[in-house]
Amino acid sequence: MKDITYDVRVYKTDVYKGKKSTTYYVRWKVGNKTWKKPFRNAAQADTYRGEIQAAARKGEAFSLLTGEPISWHRAERPDMSWYGFACMFVDMKWKDASAKYRQDIARALTAATPAMFASERDKPDDVLTRTALRRWGFNTKQRDEARGSVADALRWLSTNTKPVAALADDPALVRALIDTATSRLDGKRAATSTVLRHKTILQNALDYAVELKLLPDNSLKGIKWKTPKTSHEVDRRSVLNHGQARALLAAVEAQKPSGKRLVAFFALIYYAGLRPEEVVSLRDHNVTLPPLVLNEETGEWEEPEEWGELHFAKAAPFAGREWTDGGTLREERSLKHRADGHARPVPVPPALVRILRAHLAAPYGKAADGRLFSGVRGGELPGITYRRVWAKARQAAFTREEIASPLAKRVYDLRHACVSTWLNAGVPPTQVAEWAGHSVDVLLKIYAKCIVGQDEVAKRRIAEALKDDRQ
C-alpha cells in the first residue's frame, strides 16, 4: 500500500506552559512528516507516547495519512475530535489539491467547525478562532508555524471540539453542521455557489470519516436538506459591445503607471476569450503572429490583415504564497477542464495581432522568462494591479448609469463578451467550445441569454418549412 510506512521515530514530549494551562505535546515522525498531538496532563501524553512507541517497536505499519498505526480504528479510537479529524482530512487532500481548492477546503471547514464546539469556556475571540482555523489549522503547510495567540487558539480547538463519532448518533448535530457551514456570520444563507461548494466538501470529509471507521456511514447524505437553485447563465447586462470595449481599452492605456503594459492583457481576454489566469501565464512562444508585409511602393513594412494564433497549455490562477507548494503568489497548472499537457488553440484576429505586436516591441513586452505580463517592478503580475486599472478605466470610459450597472464590472466580463460575439457571429458551438475551453453543454448553458437574434432566425426557418400551407 502506498499510504503506509514502517519508518517511525518517536521524540521526547514537548511541554508548553501557557498563561492559563500547560500543554504536553507528543511528537513523532512517520516517513518524512512530523506529527504532534496535545494533551492537558503529562500522564495522558506519556500513555499515548508509549502506545506509539510500542506499535513502532512491534513493527506495525503506520498510515502516512493519519500518522498512527493502521490497526487503530474506530473501536479503539472513538474519541477523535472534529478538529483533529478535519486536520487529517486537509492533510489527505493537500498533495493532489490545487492551491485554490486548498483554500476552499479551509473555508468550508472553518465555517462548519463552530457547530462542533464542545464548550465555550475560555474560547478565544471569534475572529481569532476563524483566522487560526482558516490560515493555520486547516493549512498543512502553515499549521506547525503557528505562534502566540494563534497557537493558543489552535490548542483550545484541539481539546474543545466534539468527537466525530457524535455525528453518528445525533441527526440534529449533522443538520447544525451543514447549516453552519452554509451560513454567513450574520446567520443568513451564504451565496448559492458557496453553499454548494461547502456542502460538497463536507460530504467528502464525512466520506473520509467513514473510510477511517470513525463513522458507520455518511450521516449527511441522510439529511433532508433543500439545495438552493442556481443559475450559471451570464447576465446579458454585463456583456459590452465592441464600441464600449474599444473605449475601455483606450481608457486602460491612459492609466498610470500600469495602463500601457496592460492594454494587451485586457485585449487578449476580449478578442481571444482567455481567462485572466491564462493570460498571466502566457509566454512569447505561445504567440504566433503573421509576418509583416513589405510595401514595395513606400519601402515600409506593414501589418497584414491576417490572423495569428495562440497555442498554450498552462494557466496561473492566483492563490497566495501560503497555499502554493513553491511559495509563489500564483500556481501554474494545466488548463481548466483539460488534462495535463493538453494545449488549446485560439485564433488571434487582426486587431489583436496589432496590439500584441506593439506590446512585444515595447520595453515591457516580455520578462526574462518569456512571460508577456509582469508587475511594474518585475515578478508576477498581481491581480490587484489589473483589477485597479480596470476599475479606473470603467470610471473614465462609462457614463454614470453605466458605471452603476453590471456592464463589464468584472475583468472576466470581457471573456463573456468575446464568447458571446463568437456565438452571435454564427460560429458553430463546437468550435467556440474548443476555443473557449468549455464543453458544448456548459457553453450553451452559460451563454443561453447572450445569443441574440436566434428566435427570428428560427421563425424564418419554420415559416419556410410551412409555406406550403398557404397554397
The set of residues, in sequence order, having a beta carbon less than 8 Å from that of 447 and lying 6+ positions away, is 233, 234, 416, 419, 420, 423
Contacts by residues 460-467 (CB-CB < 8 Å, ≥ 24 positions apart): none
Q: Where are the domains of the chain?
A: 1-72, 81-230, 236-414
Model pLDDT, residue 295: 79
The set of residues, in sequence order, having a beta carbon less than 8 Å from that of 460 and lying 6+ positions away, is none
Q: Which residue has the cell 508576477?
A: 380
Model pLDDT, residue 77: 57
| The 3-state secondary structure of the chain, one letter per residue | CCCEECCEEECCCEEEECCCCEEEEEEEEECCEEEEEEECCHHHHHHHHHHHHHHHHCCCCEECCCCCECCCCCCCCCCCEHHHHHHHHHHHHHCCCCHHHHHHHHHHHHHHHHHHECCCCCCCCHHHHHHHHHHHHCCCCCHHHCCHHHHHHHHHHHHCECECCHHHHCHHHHHHHHHHHCECCCCCECCHHHHHHHHHHHHHHHHHHHHCCCCCCCHHHHCCCCCCCCCCCCCHHHCCCHHHHHHHHHHHHCCCCCHHHHHHHHHHHHHHCCCHHHHHCCEHHHEECCCCEEECCCCEEECCCCCEEEEECEECCECCCCCCCCCCCECCEECCCCCCCCCEEEEECHHHHHHHHHHHHCCCCCCCCCECCCCCCCCCCCHHHHHHHHHHHHHHHCCHHHHHCCCCCCCCHHHHHHHHHHHHCCCCHHHHHHHHCCCHHHHHHHCHHHCCCHHHHHHHHHHHHCHHHHC
CB 145 within 8 A of CB 136: yes
End-to-end CA distance of the chain: 77
- Dist. CA 144–CA 151, nearest whole Å: 9
The whole model's pTM is what? 0.65
Model pLDDT, residue 359: 94
How far, in Å, are 35, 116, 172, 261, 275 from residue 413 at the CA level? Answer: 46, 40, 42, 20, 10
Chain centroid to CA 184: how far?
A: 19
Model pLDDT, residue 232: 61
213 Ramachandran zone, left/alpha/beta (phi>0; psi -120 to 50): left
Amino acid at the residue 261: R
The set of residues, in sequence order, having a beta carbon less than 8 Å from that of 128 and lying 6+ positions away, is 149, 150, 153
Model pLDDT, residue 469: 54
In 3D space, the residue among 235, 264, 267, 252 whose CA is nearest the CA of residue 398 turns out to be 252
In 3D space, the residue among 43, 4, 7 whose CA is nearest the CA of residue 26 turns out to be 43
Q: Which one of 1.10.530, 1.10.443, 2.60.120, 3.30.70 gives the CATH number of domain 236-414?
A: 1.10.443
Model pLDDT, residue 159: 87
Amino acid at the residue 359: H
- Dist. CA 238–CA 99, nearest whole Å: 29
Model pLDDT, residue 453: 47
C-alpha cell of residue 106 = 479551509
Model pLDDT, residue 199: 93
Q: What is the mean pLDDT of each run of 10 residues along the chain (471 residues)?
A: 78 86 90 88 89 87 81 60 91 87 94 92 91 92 87 90 89 91 87 89 93 86 71 76 92 91 95 90 89 81 87 71 75 62 83 94 87 82 90 94 92 91 86 85 73 55 62 50
- Dist. CA 69–CA 130, nearest whole Å: 31
Contacts by residues 119-123 (CB-CB < 8 Å, ≥ 24 positions apart): 119/160, 121/160, 122/20, 122/156, 123/156, 123/160
